[in-house]
Structure 1
């Protein structure tokens, strides 16, 4: 709590401590949603948070919820903006940023191991809202209540989305494992 009070007063060290605590989870969350520019959106979110921080009242979990709400709004703003862009321009942007897919950069995404990449692939195969809730609950570790505040749904709806997301994720994983076994079995025959 003292760190938040100091950050509100403009203490750069306190703000830096908050960034160290919250930013890795924020970037993982954005990455889990398939965001190509997760670090950029996280940075924009911190800038927006810094503007409202002096008026903020609450504890660290509330601040984390606010930061994730801001990031989610920034992500949707970016998606709307990309949707309105001509497709030819989008292809150029994707080409310029294709290095991100090949891990030729540093940062939190560069440390994704094979199992993390596989998890993100599986999450991309379930409905978006379910994937978002599962990511916030499992990857970031937020409570159902905190997630409900971020995505603007009731706590009960978040619980249902979480359990349906887990069920769908299980189907995806089992289906993939079954497919791998069939390929292995039929290719060796």
Structure 2
């Protein structure tokens, strides 16, 4: 599908102006190093521009960009995990920090939860991902998805309720 038909009036600069602050904020709350946040934000827009012709319009453009951002964050975290711990970080650990087993259980629970998110409707899944992965407010999500704020709140409520039921059933 021709992207010019989907957003004919948006050029690269307008896309950047529309989404850069949101993408930056998404990374800022997850990555400590400001330079890495800036690099990640730049990386996202390089990928968006290079893959712009691949955007097919099945999902909202904002959700597509945030999926690219999320994938860039995952790649960054994988690379960071491979780095050895520096002495300052190691010496700052406290006895009250979670044990590795607890961290693993939390990670497994989180993985299960996100697997269940993928069973929600596309609209519910988009709202949940933009709310909790992108830290966007309901009015921002409504704007990105082209829906009213009330319908986004309903999708969020129903999605969360369904997730709670699925997690209870599993426990």
Q: What's the TM-score, normalizing by structure 1?
A: 0.45
Q: What's the TM-score, normalizing by structure 2?
A: 0.49
Structure with more of its chain in helix, by fraction: 1
